[in-house]
Amino acid sequence: MATVTTDGLWRQVEKKRFAVIGWATPAGEPRTAGVMYRVADRRVYLGVDDDSWKARHIAASGHVSVTVLVTRSRLLALVSPIPPATITFRGTAVVHPGDALLTLPKVVERVLPPDGRREGVAIIEVHPVGDFVTYGVGAPIRAMRHPEEAGGRAPVA
């Protein structure tokens, strides 16, 4: 297994801005969506339309998974087509109305639409729980062919 640390993985997650969030509908059907996010105090925040499926379904269950893609250099990708490394974690989620920004960390404003509007926007706050599960993070490129060598795990807290 690749050697990964909690602090090192948080640094990676904080540097990135795009992730895939997963949840289940009230009928139990799985869904995923790409989202832009920000991190503050080891919580992940994203902005969505307040009447979107994401907002409604995540509010109903309160459970999500998040996968952050950690891309390698473009030059290396041209030489050897490899998938991006990934950092995945599960979490509990709370959906806040857009006007809750007054009580949330300042960095959360960066997940608002470019025009800065708050009407019609909900902020999803994800509190990671359990472990980070990684693939390819901290592993040499050649290990990417062997999941048992490329995988890693570290607690989120």
Report if residue 1 sits inside a domain.
no
**Structure confidence by residue, pLDDT tens digits, 84-95:** 899 999 999 999
Distance between CA atoms of 59 and 86, rounded to whole angstroms? 26
DSSP notation for 94-157: EEEEGGGGGTS-GGGGGGS-TT---TTEEEEEEEEEEEEEEESTTS-GGGGG-HHHHEEEEE--
Res. 66 pLDDT band, cuts 50 70 90? very high
What local confidence, expressed as pLDDT, does residue 96 receive? 92
Residue 82 lies in a domain: yes
DSSP 44-83: EEEEEETTSHHHHHHHHH-EEEEEEEE---HHHHHHS--P
Tokens 């490899």, located at residue: 82
The helix/strand/coil state of 8 is helix
List all residues 6 or more positions away from 41 whose beta carbon is below 8 Å from its beta carbon: 105
pTM above threshold 0.85 = yes
Residue 69 domain flag = yes
In a domain, 65, yes or no: yes
* Low-confidence winner among 25-29, 70-74, 108-112, 137-141 (lowest mean pLDDT): 70-74
Q: Which pLDDT value is given to residue 78?
A: 67
For residues 148 and 150, what is the distance between their CA atoms, to the nearest angstrom?
A: 6
Average pLDDT of the residues of the chain? 89
Backbone angles phi, psi at 88, to 5 degrees: -120, 145
The answer to whether the CB of 45 falls within 8 A of the CB of 125 is yes
Residue 121 has pLDDT above 70, yes or no: yes
56 assigned to some structural domain: yes
Domain assignment present for 44: yes
Any domain includes 145: yes
Q: What is the dihedral of CA 12, 5, 134, 81, to 10 degrees?
A: 60
Domain that holds residue 32: 6-155
Residue 38 carries which side chain, given as an amino acid letter? R
Domain count within the chain? 1
Q: The CATH number of the domain where 144 resides is what?
A: 2.30.110.10
Asked whether residue 113 is domain-assigned, the answer is yes
